[in-house]
Every structure is written in structure tokens, then in C-alpha cells.
Amino acid sequence: MRVRSLVLSLVLLCAGVFAVGGSLTAQEPQGGEAMATQTRTAQQGQTAAYTLPPEKLARAIAYSRIRVVLDFLGTGWGIAQLVLLLALGVVAKMRDVALGLSCNRWAQGFCFVFLLLLVTTLMDLPLDLYGHHAAAVYGQSVQGWASWAGDAAKGFLLTFVFGGLMVMLLFWVIRKSPGRWWFWFWIPAMIAVLIGVFVAPVLIDPLFNKFEPLAKTDPALVDRLEKVVARGGIEIPPDRMFLMKASEKVTTLNAYVTGYGASKRVVVWDNSISKATPDEISFIFGHEMGHYVLKHIPATLVFLGVLLLIEFYAGYRGVRWLIARYGERWRVPTQSDWGALVVLLLVLGVLSFLSEPITNGYSRMHEHEADVYGQEAIHGIVGDPQRVAQQSFQLLGEMSLTDPNPNPFVEFWTFSHPSVASRAAFAARYNPWVPGGNPKYFAK
């Protein structure tokens, strides 16, 4: 996990929690081949439902391997750079600059956060540049470098402002309660998460992408999707359906549900509408409606809240131990020193990496439930729900250059969604409407 994401992880646990409701597409890295006969046999059945022509398969495997390397290398480098900054005394020097700037703690805190973000952003830059280059080479991105740099600058500023505010709150709580700050900070952190999830669709997301009411751009599609909504027996007003102009930056397909309360909405990428059939879009929408109906957003917030509390406590214990052992060498004497922020980020970085299988496993469970719901929701609306769902995943995999045979370890550790091959195979065989079958979410 990169340092600028780690600053926000004080509040958000991991980057991307604003879209906590989940999406249709799998954006996790993939690569490798099966390592056991049993696994290969299972994957042969899966790849029968999702296949790629030889040339595209070779590109998918190559691109998947690049993503795997960048993912693990980025995480490892993010942790290593914190150790280097501490060991080489860079953190202590940045702290001294902040202290020399002003006697005002607000000026000191924001100065330290700015310097930390600046240094680590520059250290991350080679990997970030190569990641975007690879996405462009493999046809996954059409975003120009100027636009990419603009998005990076916006991300930097958002992290600096909101991360800086939370850092100031963190150190205020540490001074007030040195032994219980991990709990007392968790409370406002969760409040910030709730506020962030609520306002992100309205204030944050439009900074990076353009959104329009789906009813304005494609009223016929809205009429069709309302049939799926009626099938679910719920209300998703047309003004909660949005089109995102993803084609200005990427070529892949996606849809997601985000926000809650008055800000809850379903977003469909324009790529999905231009490249998928109306039946496939109905399934995509049904999947997202599943997140909506099955209350995955509040459930995930509770899950992440518990995990965040555990990580904060472990962070507290880890910071105390590291400062006791290495504080003199790092010139970070106490947990109330500005440099202790980097020690905390180091502990959170390790914990975030180790907890990836837990958070991703939980996410995969929700994504599978949404797949089941979506396929059941379009029964009676499309002619062949099994084929429609399977073809949706086929299209998703083709557009995303997804390897049909991901490495089992990589899938376990990094996939936030089930593999495309397994989803396509399940969709092709799932038919609870046959005699003796029982739908999970709808009456037969």
C-alpha cells in the first residue's frame, strides 16, 4: 500500500472505501498458472465458460503478470520506503523543518504531512508511470499523460487536506489519551468514514469523472432497467441512476453502487452501454441492484469498522514497541512526536497487507451474492439468464484482458472479486428454476 493511501488509511482503512458497495468488474491483478492437478481440472471447467483466442490470451497473461508484479512490488516498496526514511533520518529532518517553520502545531502538522506526501509520491512515481504506460500499451487506458497527471495532482491535494485534518485529530487524541488513543480516535475515524461514503459520490467522484443522469442520456435503457427494479420489488428512482463517461480514460467495462441515504446511486459506465447488449446491461444492473438490496454497503462498513479498530489497537502496540526499540536511532522519541506518524503508517502498512486475504475474501462473498441476485433478477425479463450472465463475464474478461487461469495464491490474496472464469462457469450452470431448484432471493 502506498504512503499517500496509508495516510488516508488512518480514516478509511484502505484506499477505495468510498466505493465500498462494490462493482461488477474485477480490478485485481491476475497471473500465473494452476499448480495442482485438482486446481487445473477445476479451471478447465471454468475456462470452458470463459475463453480467449490465442493472441488475446497471450496478451492477457502478459498484462496480468505485469499487474501482479506492480501490485506486490508497490506494496513492498511502500513499506520499504518508510523503513528507509526512518533509518536514514529523513523523517527526523522533515520533523525538524516543520518545527522550525512555526510554533503553531497546525502549521507544523500540515508541513510535515506535505513533506511526507511529496517525498513518498516522488519515490512512487516510477512505478506509477510504468503502471499507466502498461495500461496504455495493452489498450486498457486511453487517458493522456496530462489528464493522468491532473488526476494525480487532485489525489495529492485531497490526501493532503483530508489526511492532514485527520493527522491533526490523531495527535490531539494521542496527547489527551496516550494509552487509549487507538479507541478514542477510532470513533471520529468511523464518523469520517460515514461522512466520506455519503459525500464521495456528490463531491469527490465528479472531480475525476463526468456523470450524467442515465434518464437524460438513454431513457429507453432506464425504462428497461425499471423492469429489473420492479422484479426486485424495490424502488430505485431514475434520478438514482447515473452514466459515467469512463470512455474518456479507459476502455474497460464496469458498474457500481455507491453512497447511502440520499447519496446512494447506481452508476453504469458508458463503455458498458456501448459494448454490451441490453440484456447484458440488465444483468450488470441486476448485479449492482443486488448490492443495493442486500445492504452490502452498511454490512461492509460494520465489517471494516471492526477491522479498523483491531488495526488501530495493533498499531498502538506496534508503535510503542518500535519506538522503544528504535526510537533513539530514528530520532523519534515518543508517540506524540510528528515522526511517530511514519512509524504508525509502517505498522498499518504491514497490517493492511496481512489483512488483504480477509478483506478480499469478504468482498468476494458479497460479489458472488450479487452475481446470484443479478441472475435471478433478470429471470423472465431476458430469454436466457444463464447465457446472458455468462456472456457478460466473457465480455468483461475480454475487455479487461483477464487471464482465464489466475494463480490460486494471487487469487486468494489479492482478488476482491471471484475470478472471471469462475463467475462465468457459475453463471452458465446456475438455473434454480428447473424442477427441484430453489432460487435464493426470489420466489419460484
* pLDDT one-digit tens code per residue, 9-32: 444 433 333 334 456 665 444 433
Span 217-239, mean pLDDT?
Answer: 89
- What was the pLDDT predicted at 22? 55
pLDDT tens digits, residue range 317-345? 999 999 999 999 999 999 999 999 999 99
Band (pLDDT 50/70/90 cuts) for residue 270 is: very high
- What was the pLDDT predicted at 38? 36
Span 334-359, mean pLDDT?
Answer: 95
CA angle 421, 424, 427 (to 5 degrees): 150
Rounded Cα distance, 217 and 267, in Å: 13
- What was the pLDDT predicted at 97? 97
* Percentage helix, strand, coil for the chain under 3-state DSSP, each rounded to 5: 70, 5, 25
Strand 241-244 to strand 265-269: parallel, antiparallel, or no bridges (unpaired)?
parallel
Helix axes 385-400, 278-293, angle to 10 degrees: 90
Element (H or E) spanning 285, and its range? helix 278-293
Can you give the residue range of the structural domain that contains 166? 1-444
Count Cα atoms within 13 angstroms, Cβ side, for 87: 7
Rounded Cα distance, 420 and 396, in Å: 8
Length of the chain as a residue count: 444
With a cut of 70, say whether residue 405 has pLDDT above it. Answer: yes
Band (pLDDT 50/70/90 cuts) for residue 46 is: low
Band (pLDDT 50/70/90 cuts) for residue 34 is: very low
Which residue, among 371, 387, 376, has the nearest Cα to 233 in the 3D structure? 376
Residue 330, CA distances (Å) to 333, 345, 346, 354 in order = 8, 15, 13, 25
Sheet holding 211-213, edge to edge: 211-213, 241-244, 265-269, 255-258
Rounded Cα distance, 23 and 275, in Å: 17
The count of structural domains within the chain is: 1
